[in-house]
C-alpha cells in the first residue's frame, strides 16, 4: 500500500485503440486483393440467392448457413428465369459457370449496395462463400445483416493446406471431429490429416482384422501427465478406449467432402505399432512375446516385421482404408522407428543380406517401398514422415518434413513433393503458447502465435524449380497431454489461423501486426460466438517484460473484440473486480521503487487470458 500512495497514474485519451482502417477487411486468411468500396449491402429476409447450380455443395452449405443464422435463404435457380426478366436487385448471385478463368481454388467477390456476386468453381465458390460469411455483420434485430461494399480477388499460395489431429493418444468423437472440420473450412484449410493409429490405440475399424479395435483400441490405463514439469511415473488406473466404426468414418468423410476438405488417413508403420501388435503379434518379428497397448508416452521399442505375413495383412488393412478414404494420399507414418526388434531378429539380419541392404535403415526403406508399391497399385500415393528418407526414398513418396526442414529440402532436391510441418517453425501445436507457468500442461517447447505466423514453408536454399515441390504446409496436434476437446481447441486456436494464413496468403501479403491487432480480435469474437474454446491472447502491449525508468506508458489493445482488460498495480492478481483499462495510462514510479502492472483480458463469454506482468523499476536513488 505504501508504494501505491507514491504512484501517479495519468490517463491519456488520444490514440487509444488500433485504427479500424484494415486493408484486409478483417478477413483471415488475408486475400490476394481487397478493395473496400463505399456503401453496404443489406441482407434481409427478402434477399434472394440466385444460383446457376442449385445442387452444388458450396451453395447448399451457404443456404444452410443463412438458414441457421436466421438470414435470407430463398435459393432460386437463375436458369429458370427468363434473361430479360431477371431482377438482380437485393440478391446474392453465386455463379459457378461464369465466363473467364481464375487460378485454382480462386474466386471473385463483388459487393455493391444492390447485390453481391461470387464467381468461383468447385472449392473456389466455397472459399468465396467463406469470405462473404466473414464479411457479414449481423445486426441485433433478427433476419437483418449488412455486408460492406468491396471487390475481392483471391486464390491460395499452396494447394495443400493441412491440419493434423492425433486421435490415438486421446480419442475424440465424431461430433468433435466435425467441429474441428468446421473451423478448418472456415479458414480455407483443405486437408485433414487424421492420425488414426499409434502405440497407444488403434482407432479405425478394419473388418478383416476385428482385433485391431477389439484389443488395439483399448488400454488398461494412462500415464498421468507430469508432476511439476517432470515426467511422472504415475498412472491413472482407468481403462481408456474408443474407435470409429467404418460407418462413422464414411460419415466424417462425407462431412469433410461437403466442406472441400480431403482427409489424409494415417496408418502408422513400421513403428508406432504397439496397439496393432497387441492385437496381432504375428505382425512382429517375435510373435511369442507379449505385446500390450502402450500406456506410456514416448516411443515403444517394437515395429512390424518386414515379412510376408505382415505385408499381406497391411495390404489388406490398407485396402479397407482406401475403400473408406477417396483421396489421393495415404499417410503411412514411417517416423521414429526403433530398430531394436529388427536388430535382434535372425529373419531381419538374413533379409538384409538377401536384399543387399546396407543395414536396418535399408530395411526401413525396403518396408516403405513395399507398401508404396501396393498403394500405388491401387492408384494412390503415399505420404511419409521425413524418416522415410533414411536408407533411400520410395520412388513416388511425398515427404512430410517435421524434424526441421532438412528432410523436406533433401526430398525436394530429389524431385519429391514436400509438405512442410516443422516443429521448429511453430507448427507443433502441442507445444506451449507462451513461456508462462500459467499455460496448461503441454509436451514442452514454446510456439507462440507470432512464431507460427512468421513461418515461411519455402526454403530460400532451393532453386525455383525445386521450390515447386513444396506443395504446402500443415500444423500438427499430438495429444499425449491433451485429453479433452476443450484443450484441443485451446491448443489449436488461434494458432491455426496463423498457419492458415501461411498456407493461403502470398508471402508479400502477410503482416503480423495487421493480423494480430486488426483481424484476429474480430475472428476470435466470431469463434467465441461459435463456441470454440480458443486461447485468449494477452492484450497487445501487455506482454511480460521488465522495464527501468520513472515514467511508463501503458497502451493496450484487447486481443478479442468486445473483451475487457482489468489491471492491478498493487501486486495482487487482477480479476474482473479490479480497475478496467479503457484508455492509455502513464505510470510514474518513484525513485528506488518498482511496480508490477498486471493485466488480464476477460471476454464477453468469460474466457480469461493468462495474467501478464510488466515490471517497472525506477533504480535511481
Ligand atoms: C512426429 O512428430 N513423430 C512425426
Burial 540-550 (b: 16+ CB within 10 A, else e): bbbeeeeeeee
Q: Ligand 1: which of 478, 479, 480, 481 to mutate, judged by most atoms within 8 Å of the beta carbon?
A: 478
Check if the beta carbon of residue 338 is closer than 8 Å to that of residue 278.
no
Task: Tell me, yes or no, if 336 is annotated catalytic.
Answer: yes
122 C-beta neighbours (distance < 10 Å), count: 14
Nearest atom (ligand 1) to Cα of 402: 4
- Tell me the per-residue pLDDT of 229-280, one tens digit each, with 9 for 90 and over: 677 789 999 999 999 999 999 999 999 999 999 999 999 999 999 999 999 9
Q: How far is ligand 1, taken at its centre, from the CA of residue 533, in Å?
A: 25
User: Is the shortest distance between the CB of 402 and ligand 1 below 6 Å?
Assistant: yes
The mean-pLDDT minimum among 100-109, 296-305, 421-430, 611-620 falls in 296-305
**Tell me: the pLDDT tens digits for 142-181?**
778 999 999 999 999 999 999 999 999 999 999 999 999 9
- Contact predicate 302/279, CB 8 Å: no
Give CA–CA dist 580/539, Å, rounded: 13
- Helix, strand, coil shares of the chain, percent, nearest 5, are 30, 25, 45
Q: Work out the pLDDT band at 563, boundaries 50, 70, 90.
A: very high
User: Which of 105, 198, 501, 613 is the catalytic position?
Assistant: 198
Q: Is the pLDDT of residue 88 over 90?
A: no
Q: Determine the average pLDDT of the residues in 400-405.
A: 98
Whether pLDDT at 429 is above 60: yes
Q: What is the mean pLDDT of residues 191-206?
A: 98
pLDDT of residue 5: 38
Residue tagged active-site, from 258, 286, 316, 336: 336
Phi, psi of 81 (to 5 degrees): -110, 130
Q: State the angle between helix axes of 174-186 and 123-135 in degrees (0 to 180), rounded to the nearest 10.
A: 80
Task: Kindly give the distance from the C-alpha atom of residue 335 to the centroid of ligand 1, in angstroms, as a whole number.
Answer: 6
Nearest atom (ligand 1) to Cα of 400: 4
Residue nearest to atom 2 of ligand 1 (CA): 402
The rounded distance, in Å, linking the Cα atoms of 502 and 471 is: 12
**Of 407, 410, 536, 509, the residue nearest 31 (C-alpha):** 509
Residue 387 CA to ligand 1 center (angstroms) comes to 10
What angle separates helix 174-186 from helix 485-492, to the nearest 10 degrees? 20
Measured in angstroms, how far is the CA atom of residue 334 from the centroid of ligand 1? 9
For ligand 1, pick from 200, 264, 385 the residue to mutate: most ligand atoms within 8 Å of CB. 385
Nearest to 115 by CA among 42, 208, 20: 42
The whole-number pLDDT of residue 471 equals 98
Which residue owns the Cα nearest ligand 1 atom 3? 335
- Report the residue among 165, 297, 336, 474 best suited for mutation to probe ligand 1: largest number of ligand atoms under 8 A from its CB: 336
Q: How far is the first Cα of the chain from the last one, in angstroms, to the nearest whole number?
A: 20
299 lines ligand 1 (CB under 6 A): no
Q: Residue 212's closest CA among 157, 251, 269? A: 269
pLDDT-above-90 percentage for the chain: 86
Q: What is the mean pLDDT of the chain?
A: 94
CATH H-level superfamily of 4-154 = Chitobiase/beta-hexosaminidase domain 2-like (3.30.379.10)
pLDDT number for residue 20: 55
Dihedral sign of CA atoms 14, 15, 17, 19 in order: positive
pLDDT at 228: 61
Please tell me the distance between residue 527's alpha carbon and the centre of ligand 1 in angstroms.
29
Tell me the CA–centroid distance for residue 402 and ligand 1, in Å. 6
Least confident of 84-93, 309-318, 526-535: 84-93
Using the structure block, give the residue that is written with the C-alpha cell 538377401.
354
With a 6 Å cutoff on the Cβ, whether 50 touches ligand 1 is no
- Between CA 391 and CA 366 the distance in angstroms is 8
pLDDT confidence band for 85 (50 / 70 / 90): confident
Cβ distance 203 to 168 under 8 Å? yes
Q: Which of 193, 272, 416, 522 is catalytic?
A: 272
Residues in the chain: 621
Arithmetic mean of pLDDT, 97-103: 93
pLDDT in the model for residue 227: 64
CATH class, domain 545-617, is mainly beta
Q: Is 385 touching ligand 1 by the criterion CB < 6 Å?
A: yes
- Output the CA 36–ligand 1 centroid distance in Å: 43
Burial of 255 (0-12, 13-18, 19+ CB in 10 A): middle
Q: Respond yes or no: is residue 272 known to be catalytic.
A: yes
Query: Which numbered atom of ligand 1 lies nearest the CA of 385?
Result: 4
336 CB under 6 A from ligand 1?
A: yes
Q: In angstroms, rounded to a whole number, what is the distance separating the alpha carbons of residues 146 and 45?
A: 12
Q: pTM, whole model, 2 decimals?
A: 0.95
Q: Specify the pLDDT at position 514.
A: 97
Q: State in Å: Cα 167 to ligand 1 middle.
A: 14
For the Cβ of 428 lying below 6 angstroms from any atom of ligand 1, the answer is: no
Name the CATH architecture for the domain at 162-504. Answer: Alpha-Beta Barrel (3.20)
Question: Which atom from ligand 1 is nearest to the alpha carbon of 478?
Answer: 2
Q: Is 240 in the pocket of ligand 1 (CB under 6 A)?
A: no
Q: Ligand 1 mean position to 264 CA, how many Å?
A: 15
How many CB atoms sit inside 10 A of residue 509's CB?
18
The residue among 403, 350, 392, 400 whose CA lies nearest residue 368 is 392
Q: How far is the CA of 346 from the centre of ligand 1 (A)?
A: 29
315: annotated active-site residue: no
Q: Is the CB of 374 under 6 A from ligand 1?
A: no
Which atom of ligand 1 lies closest to the CA of 423?
A: 2
Q: Where are the domains of the chain?
A: 4-154, 162-504, 545-617
Q: How large is the C-alpha radius of gyration of the chain?
A: 27
Amino acid at each position: 500500500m505504501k508504494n501505491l500512495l507514491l504512484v501517479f497514474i495519468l490517463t491519456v485519451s488520444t490514440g487509444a485503440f488500433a485504427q479500424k482502417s484494415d486493408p484486409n477487411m478483417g478477413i483471415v486468411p488475408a486475400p490476394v486483393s481487397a478493395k473496400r468500396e463505399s456503401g453496404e449491402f443489406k441482407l434481409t429476409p427478402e434477399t434472394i440467392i440466385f444460383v446457376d447450380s442449385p445442387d452444388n455443395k458450396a451453395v447448399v452449405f451457404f443456404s444452410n448457413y443463412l438458414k441457421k443464422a436466421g438470414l435470407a435463404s430463398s435459393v432460386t435457380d437463375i436458369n429458370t428465369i427468363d434473361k430479360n426478366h431477371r431482377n438482380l436487385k437485393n440478391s446474392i448471385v453465386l455463379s459457378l459457370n461464369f465466363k473467364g478463368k481464375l487460378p485454382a481454388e480462386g474466386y471473385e467477390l463483388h459487393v455493391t449496395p444492390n447485390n453481391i456476386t461470387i464467381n468461383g468453381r468447385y472449392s473456389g465458390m466455397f472459399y468465396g462463400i467463406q469470405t462473404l460469411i466473414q464479411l457479414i455483420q449481423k445486426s441485433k434485430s433478427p433476419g437483418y445483416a449488412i455486408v460492406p461494399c468491396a471487390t475481392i480477388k483471391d486464390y491460395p499460395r499452396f494447394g495443400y493446406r493441412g491440419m493434423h489431429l492425433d486421435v490415438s493418444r486421446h480419442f475424440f468423437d465424431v461430433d468433435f471431429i466435425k467441429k474441428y472440420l468446421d473451423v478448418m473450412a472456415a479458414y480455407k484449410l483443405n486437408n485433414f490429416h487424421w492420425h488414426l493409429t499409434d502405440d497407444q490405440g488403434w482407432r479405425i475399424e478394419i473388418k478383416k482384422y476385428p482385433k485391431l479395435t477389439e484389443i488395439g483400441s483399448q488400454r488398461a490405463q494412462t500415464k498421468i501427465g507430469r508432476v511439476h514439469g517432470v515426467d511422472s511415473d504415475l498412472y491413472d488406473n482407468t481403462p481408456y478406449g474408443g474407435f470409429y466404426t467404418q460407418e462413422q468414418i464414411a460419415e466424417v468423410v462425407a462431412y469433410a467432402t461437403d466442406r472441400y476438405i480431403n482427409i489424409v488417413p494415417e496408418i502408422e508403420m513400421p513403428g508406432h505399432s504397439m496397439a496393432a501388435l497387441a492385437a496381432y503379434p504375428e505382425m512382429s518379428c517375435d510373435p511369442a512375446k507379449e505385446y500390450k497397448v502402450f500406456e506410456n508416452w514416448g516411443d515403444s521399442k517394437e515395429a512390424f516385421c518386414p515379412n510376408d505375413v505382415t505385408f499381406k495383412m497391411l495390404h489388406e488393412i490398407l485396402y479397407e482404408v482406401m475403400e473408406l478414404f477417396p483421396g489421393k494420399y495415404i499417410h503411412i507414418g514411417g517416423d521414429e522407428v526403433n530398430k531394436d526388434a529388427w536388430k535382434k531378429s535372425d529373419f531381419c539380419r538374413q533379409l538384409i543380406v538377401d536384399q543387399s541392404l546396407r543395414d536396418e535403415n535399408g530395411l526401413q526403406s525396403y518396408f516403405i517401398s513395399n507398401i508404396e508399391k501396393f498403394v500405388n497399385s491401387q492408384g494412390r500415393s503415399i505420404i511419409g514422415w521425413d524418416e522415410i528418407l533414411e536408407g533411400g526414398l520410395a520412388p513416388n513418396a511425398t515427404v512430410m518434413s517435421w524434424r526441421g526442414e532438412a528432410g523436406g529440402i533433401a526430398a525436394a532436391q530429389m524431385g519429391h513433393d514436400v509438405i512442410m510441418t516443422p516443429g521448429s517453425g511453430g507448427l507443433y501445436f502441442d507445444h506451449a503458447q507462451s513461456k508462462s507457468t500459467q499455460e496448461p500442461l503441454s509436451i514442452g517447447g514454446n510456439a507462440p502465435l507470432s512464431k507460427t505466423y512468421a513461418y515461411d514453408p519455402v526454403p530460400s536454399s532451393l532453386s525455383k524449380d525445386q521450390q515447386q515441390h513444396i506443395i504446402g504446409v500443415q500444423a500438427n496436434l499430438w495429444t499425449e497431454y491433451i485429453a479433452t476437446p476443450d484443450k484441443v481447441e485451446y491448443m489449436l486456436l488461434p494458432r491455426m489461423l496463423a498457419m492458415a494464413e501461411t498456407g493461403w496468403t502470398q508471402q508479400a501479403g502477410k503482416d503480423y501486426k495487421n493480423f494480430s491487432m486488426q483481424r484476429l480480435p474480430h475472428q476470435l469474437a466470431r469463434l467465441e460466438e461459435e463456441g470454440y474454446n480458443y486461447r485468449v491472447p494477452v492484450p497487445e502491449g501487455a506482454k511480460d517484460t521488465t522495464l527501468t525508468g520513472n515514467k511508463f506508458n501503458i497502451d493496450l489493445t484487447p486481443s478479442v473484440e468486445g473483451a475487457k482488460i482489468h489491471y492491478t498495480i498493487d501486486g495482487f492478481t487482477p480479476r474482473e473486480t479490479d480497475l478496467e483499462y479503457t484508455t492509455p495510462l502513464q505510470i510514474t514510479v518513484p525513485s528506488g521503487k518498482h511496480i508490477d502492472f498486471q493485466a488480464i483480458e476477460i471476454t464477453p463469454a468469460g474466457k480469461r487470458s493468462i495474467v501478464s506482468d510488466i515490471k517497472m523499476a525506477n533504480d535511481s536513488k
